[in-house]
Amino acid sequence: MKEQVQAFLLHLHNKNFSAHTLQSYEQDLQQFTAFCAARKCTRVTDFTLPNVRAFLASLSNNKYARNTTLRKIASLRSFANFLVENEQLPSNPFKLLPAPKRERLLPKFLTVDETNRLIETAAGSEHFGARNRALLELLYSCGMRRSELTGLKISDVDFFNGVVKVLGKGNKERFIPITQTALQALRDYLATRRNPRAGEALFLNKNGTPLTGDGLAYLVKTLSIKSNIARKVTPHSLRHSFATHLLNNGCDLRSLQEMLGHKSLLATQVYTHVSLDKLKSVYEHAHPKNQEKQL
């Protein structure tokens, strides 16, 4: 079965799946094959409904979050489809297995004050202050995923037109407007680089090599602690903050969907549940009873 897992991962790589997605698939499938090996089920034909049920029961016993379990199910279902298509498996065992409903988690975002404090902390870094400020300004300005940001090249930033070209999920390109503040922060950062070339990575680490997703996550975590923000902050927190703050200030869902690179509007609509400040403001100004009080 392990050989077929490697063939499947190569198949996904050739279809331009992101490195983060490939890593998740690999971890999920390795966990499943290790579980099967412990049960002395190492052949592809051992990928059966009873073994799948037993594996999911073990996840439940280990109290995995529902959405984590759903991701593992999706990984296994895709692998099973691959095996069926390549005539390694007679049928997909997941056809007879109902999937639990996805838990709808509200995005965790920073307030405007917390966001500004985080960026100010980044700018005041003892080392790489210009880079750190530019990095966070760009994350907050464009709401990119961490893989999208670390994949940027200098040439992807259009300083004249004020947009950045992003390569998102499914290898799809999109253009996102960028604030003048973020553009200036990028100019200041690039001025600290020795002969920066258009084809080079936009953000480098301390060793002069492209910044990785894990490096970015560690940097954001460290800066959030120094900013005295009393909760976990990730690069995705700034993506959520970008979306929530735009909605609170009147951005429409379709435009936000385009900027976030969401395939479906349903994925964008989750942010309407966290824009309570905007909803309260509209309510207070629109409800007749509130208008009576003002009179």
Q: What is the pLDDT of residue 293?
A: 54
Q: Each residue of 231-250: pLDDT tens digit?
A: 889 999 999 999 999 988 88
Q: What is the pLDDT of residue 273?
A: 67
- Exactly one of 72, 131, 236, 245 is catalytic; name it: 236
25 classed as catalytic: no
Q: 48-57, 166-175, 263-272: lowest mean pLDDT where? A: 263-272
- The Cα–Cα gap between 251 and 61 comes to 44
Q: What is the DSSP string of the chain?
A: -HHHHHHHHHHHHHTT--HHHHHHHHHHHHHHHHHHHHTT--SGGG--HHHHHHHHHHHHHTT--HHHHHHHHHHHHHHHHHHHHTTSSSS-GGGG-PPPPPP-PPPP---HHHHHHHHHHHHT-SSSHHHHHHHHHHHHHH---HHHHHT-BGGGEETTTTEEEEE-GGG-EEEEE--HHHHHHHHHHHTTSSS--TTSBSSB-TTSSBPPHHHHHHHHHHHHHHTT--S---HHHHHHHHHHHHHHTT--HHHHHHHHT-SSHHHHHGGGGT-HHHHHHHHHHH-HHHHHHH-
- Exactly one of 169, 193, 221, 226 is catalytic; name it: 169
283 classed as catalytic: no
Q: Is the pLDDT of residue 152 over 70?
A: yes
**Residue found under tokens 């499938």:** 29
β partners of residue 210: 204
Confidence of residue 70 (pLDDT cuts 50, 70, 90): confident
271 classed as catalytic: yes
Q: Which amino acid is at 203?
A: F
Q: Each residue of 285-295: pLDDT tens digit?
A: 777 766 555 55
Q: What is the pLDDT of residue 225?
A: 94
* Rounded mean pLDDT, 77-83: 89
Q: What is the pLDDT of residue 14?
A: 83
Domains of the chain: 2-96 (1.10.150.130), 112-281 (1.10.443.10)
262 classed as catalytic: yes
Task: Specify whether the CB–CB gap between 223 and 136 falls below 8 A.
Answer: yes
Q: Each residue of 93-117: pLDDT tens digit?
A: 887 776 666 656 566 889 999 999 9
- The Cα–Cα gap between 5 and 270 comes to 34
Query: What value does the mean pLDDT of the chain take?
Result: 86
Q: What is the pLDDT of residue 228?
A: 93
- The Cα–Cα gap between 269 and 254 comes to 10
Strands 173-177 and 163-167: antiparallel
Torsion of CA 243, 249, 252, 258, to 10 degrees: -30
- Exactly one of 145, 146, 240, 245 is catalytic; name it: 145
- Its pTM stands at 0.68
Give the count of beta carbons closer than 10 Å to the beta carbon of residue 5: 20
Q: Is the pLDDT of residue 281 over 70?
A: no
* Rounded mean pLDDT, 113-122: 95
* Rounded mean pLDDT, 119-135: 94
Q: What is the pLDDT of residue 39?
A: 84
- Greatest Cα pair distance, the chain, in angstroms, is 78
Confidence of residue 276 (pLDDT cuts 50, 70, 90): low
Q: Which residue has the higher pLDDT, 60 or 90?
A: 90
